[in-house]
Copies of this chain bind each other. A is one copy, B any other.
Amino acid sequence: MPFTYEYPRPALTVDCVVFGFDEGDLKVLLIERDLKPFAGRWALPGGFVNLDETIDTAARRELAEETGLTEIYLEQLYTFGTVDRDPRERVVSVAYYALVKLEDHRPRAATDARKAAWFNVDDIPSLAFDHAEILDTALRRLKGKVRYEPIGFELLPEKFPLSQLQHLYEVCLEEPLDKRNFRKKILGMGLLTETDEVQQDVAHRAARLYRFDSRRYQQLKKRGFSFWL
């Protein structure tokens, strides 16, 4: 026990809420705890912050270690620091939320030693610690932010039909959208480029696939454009 301090210190951790979107449902990646407090319960991926890394780095490292995810959209959410949130001792946790293209990270359940699985956001098991509260905060943030920043595209594959995008927005905003108005608005922004591909293996007329042009978004943003839906 070589590390001594003049005053007591809380432990510092990170926790990540990883969102994915698949078959019309918003999903969250959880891992099953194998260690003692709440062993066997599902929890958000996360862990302790090392002294030689920033908090952001810690979040990315823990995500890579526990879920294999790298190079994904990651943003700080909120810091949770109530006194009794961990039964062992005082632990303060900086929460992050991440958006991943679920296509690229399909089943992956038993890849690592840890058991990881995707859960539908409105069918979440009882979680360890205050992770239910963290997840709730993340969901509210996602639902708020999706309106004024084009983060929805982080959840879709590179090429996607407009109907899938619309569906994603309907889930996030919790309201149905009119197809024609949606297409008019989203295409009117000039942020989507039409590809020459269409859906494959669908039992009906195949839809054209589009791609999000983030280069163009950066340009427009500089000129005062703001995304809005």
CB distance from A50 to the nearest CB of B (A): 8
Q: How many residues of A contact B (CB 8 A)?
A: 29
Partner of A7, one of B4, B48, B53, B56: B48
Q: Which of A65-105 contact B (CB under 8 A)?
A: 76, 78-79, 81-83, 90, 92, 94
Q: Which residues of B contact A4 (CB under 8 A)?
A: 1-5
Contact status of A49 and B5, CB under 8 A, knowing A12-B12, A92-B12, A92-B55: no
Residues of B within 8 A of A54 (CB): 81-83
Q: Choose among B7, B11, B48, B52 the residue that contacts A83 (Cβ–Cβ < 8 A).
A: B52
In the complex, A6→B5 CA distance in Å?
Answer: 12
Closest to A10 in B: B12
Copies per complex of this chain: 2
Given A76-B78, A81-B55, A82-B54, verify A3-B8 contact (CB < 8 Å): yes
What are 25 A-B contacts defined by CB distance under 8 Å? A1-B4, A3-B6, A3-B8, A4-B5, A5-B5, A5-B9, A7-B48, A8-B51, A9-B10, A9-B12, A9-B51, A10-B12, A12-B92, A51-B90, A54-B81, A54-B82, A54-B83, A55-B92, A56-B81, A76-B78, A76-B79, A79-B79, A79-B94, A81-B94, A92-B94
Chain A positions near chain B (C-beta within 8 angstroms)? 1-12, 48-49, 51-56, 76, 78-79, 81-83, 90, 92, 94
